[in-house]
Amino acid sequence: MKKAIFFCLAIAGLISATATAQTYVSDFVDGEITDRPIRILQTNSAGDDVYVFDPSTMEQVGYIENLPHNHGATVHADGTFYYFTNEFDHTVDIVDTRTLEIVKRVELANGPHNLSASMTARKVYVAIIAEPLIQVISMDTNEIIANIETGGGVHNTFVTPDGKYAVGGMIGASEIIAIDTETDEVVFETSIPYSQNPFTGGVRPLTFTVNEDGSTRSMLVNVGGWHGFWEIDWETQEVLNKISPPQDSWDRMDQTADGIQSAPSHGVVVLPDQSQVWHSSRATSHIYGYTFPDYEYIGRVYIGNPAWITTTPDSDYLWVGVSGHNETAVVDVHTQEVVKRFPVGQAPKRIFTAIMPEDWEGEAP
């Protein structure tokens, strides 16, 4: 570990305030989770390292090396391992959460992008961008146990808050696929109609809203070419809403083309208490907030080329990867201000909040 060390929140599917968030779901936590250890994982897409933060102290507590072009991150159901996709070696790299050392590299069929985990099914779902494929890793053996064919290369995978479904989003094919995590059978496939968004750059990050019983209500999807996100009904796959910042919330001085890659918005999160939704804007260097479920605009915060967003379980803070500035920014939801910035690695994008088991002791000294 370096001297002077100064992430779609793994959260509960059925806690007292039903929760969900982007890229990470920890459906194994029951009851209150405020006393559980929490770690924020900031990956660096153009680097070879991952930064680990403790949001309770707002300090860096770990540093993981030798992970070239790391993309997505998730955590083992027992809190024993972190899983990272390695775009350089075409592997999933498994890291001991105590020692922060790599213990295994799982070879994949081709180059990966994101990954996500079902804690109840004890499986990790890996998006293969270079093949029309999702590969499934068992948490019990850390081996590939299934290969699920898709309509195109898969950019991201996400697991619903109840752990029952894994969802893959495709850029080129502009498709979404849903998989039953118990059987690994395809439940539905749907596409983003070109006629509804002629500038589509495919399916980018997405997250989920939930019903009172914890079941999935809808998907909030960053669609290529759309500044904001779409809400898609889970049961019917119909588009319910298309949300974009109001015209008076940005002007020409805000606009930038730096790193947009046909995706002006590339990050969306629902607060665990289901009160607000926030999305990133590469186009204007801000993040934008709305009430949920009414989607009334509540404000924006300057970040500087924001990428993915995660949140703390108390719904008080947003953690944002700032890819253009090589930083991680922390935003106070109540004051709508950046309260801290951490220098991190090269091109930080994906960011993940891991909620650990109660008896987890933290990083080894």
pTM exceeding 0.85: yes
How do residues 118-128 score in pLDDT, each as one tens digit?
A: 999 999 999 99
**Residues 194-219: tens digit of each pLDDT:** 888 887 889 999 999 999 888 999 99
Q: Residue 258 pLDDT more than 70?
A: no
Residue 155 has pLDDT above 80, yes or no: yes
247 has a pLDDT exceeding 90: no
For residues 63 and 309, give the distance between their C-alpha atoms in angstroms, rounded to a whole number.
Answer: 20
**Domain 38-355, CATH:** 2.130.10.10
Task: Name the pLDDT band for 163 (thresholds 50, 70, 90).
Answer: very high
Neighbours of 296 (CB within 10 A): 10
How does residue 42 score in pLDDT terms, banded at 50, 70 and 90? very high
- Quick one: pLDDT band at residue 1, thresholds 50, 70, 90? very low
Q: How far apart are CA 129 and CA 154, in angstroms?
A: 5
Closest CA to 90 of 123, 115, 65, 118: 115
pLDDT of res. 12: 35
191: phi > 0 → left, psi -120 to 50 → alpha, else beta; which?
A: beta
